A = this chain, B = another copy of it.
């Protein structure tokens, strides 16, 4: 618990000299700097971020808001952020919105954000109009990873485009009976991207003259277990699609398991295509449109740090890309 004052006393220097030497501010003799750093090392000096923050107004923290931690996408973005920030002087303060009984108060507006963090990155978080209005008063930079939202600068993929590409793939293979395993949840209101992906699916399917029975539109809630249940139920019925388009790889994994369980073979009986590029998708031999959420996290982290350090903030970011990876889970209908 050595302070800058102790180092100064030890060396017969003033506090300011020590402070500037440690920060690498120009205008200090090289050997003085060497002495100071040596003394700091010897005394085990660790700067007090609280004290520095009080003086500079910088806390050297970035607040990251996630809807929950147990979804691959949120997770991957967060990993990208932590990895990027680990190489900087900034720490991550984690705000997990996941609450047992359907959402807590989510007042990250008042006590949470102001004064505590230098910047905020939100991940796929849906905001109310009130919340968005509050954000306008924030004096800290903010970037949202996720679908485009009015009033926010966002980083993310084009949900319409990626789902259109996934659907187009099975259409081009010749499938005309298409099912959708969507991100809807029976309980909670649908997210923007779940809606976008459904619309893109419908539009692409109908444009190709495909059949989409309403009973083939499944609510998977971006969860493996819901996917298993929904797909198991659907394929008990005699009226079945020949291809299943999934809004996430996680749901596709559940779907493929449920199909095997029902005695149906992938892709001979049912083709499965999906969105994400999950690290497990290769082992499942799953055809998927790969996006890179970790890269989106890295991008968001870099941009927000640059902005905190005074760089000119861009007014928007280019749409993140994706890539169709064709594997063994899709084939022409038999």
Binding site for B on A (CB under 8 A): 1, 46-51, 53-54, 59, 61, 64, 68-70, 72, 75-76, 78-79, 82-83, 86, 91-96, 98-100, 104, 110-112, 114-116, 139, 223-226, 228-229, 253-254, 256-257, 260-261, 279-280, 282-284
How many angstroms between the C-alpha atoms of A275 and B201 in the bound complex? 38
Chain B contacts for A47, CB-based, 8 A? 111, 115
Closest to A91 in B: B93
Contacts known (A229-B283, A282-B225); A46 close to B79, Cβ less than 8 A = no
Chain B contacts for A111, CB-based, 8 A? 46-47
A82 to chain B, nearest CB (A): 4
A139 to chain B, nearest CB (A): 8
Please determine whether B92 and A280 come into contact, CB atoms closer than 8 angstroms.
no
Please determine whether A283 and B224 come into contact, CB atoms closer than 8 angstroms.
yes
Contacts known (A72-B70, A260-B260); A49 close to B280, Cβ less than 8 A = no
Chain B contacts for A49, CB-based, 8 A? 50, 115-116
Please determine whether A284 and B228 come into contact, CB atoms closer than 8 angstroms.
yes
Chain B contacts for A112, CB-based, 8 A? 91
Please determine whether B115 and A46 come into contact, CB atoms closer than 8 angstroms.
yes
Contact of A54 among B46, B48, B64, B110 (CB under 8 A): B48
How many angstroms between the C-alpha atoms of A86 and B65 in the bound complex? 12
A46-B115, A70-B279 known, 16 other contacts, Cβ within 8 Å = A1-B139, A48-B54, A49-B115, A50-B51, A50-B53, A50-B54, A51-B54, A54-B54, A69-B75, A70-B72, A82-B98, A83-B98, A91-B116, A93-B94, A229-B283, A254-B280
Please determine whether A225 and B98 come into contact, CB atoms closer than 8 angstroms.
no
Please determine whether B79 and A69 come into contact, CB atoms closer than 8 angstroms.
yes
Chain B contacts for A72, CB-based, 8 A? 70
Contacts known (A46-B115, A69-B79, A75-B75); A96 close to B86, Cβ less than 8 A = yes
Chain B contacts for A50, CB-based, 8 A? 49-51, 53-54, 59, 115
Please determine whether A254 and B283 come into contact, CB atoms closer than 8 angstroms.
yes
Contacts known (A46-B115, A94-B92, A257-B257); A82 close to B69, Cβ less than 8 A = yes
Chain B contacts for A256, CB-based, 8 A? 257
How many angstroms between the C-alpha atoms of A95 and B225 in the bound complex? 30
A266 to chain B, nearest CB (A): 9
How many angstroms between the C-alpha atoms of A284 and B228 in the bound complex? 8
How many angstroms between the C-alpha atoms of A325 and B322 in the bound complex? 41
A50 to chain B, nearest CB (A): 4
Closest to A92 in B: B94
Closest to A112 in B: B91
Chain B contacts for A282, CB-based, 8 A? 225
Contacts known (A69-B79, A99-B83, A116-B91); A110 close to B283, Cβ less than 8 A = no
Contacts known (A50-B54, A83-B96, A94-B82); A279 close to B68, Cβ less than 8 A = no
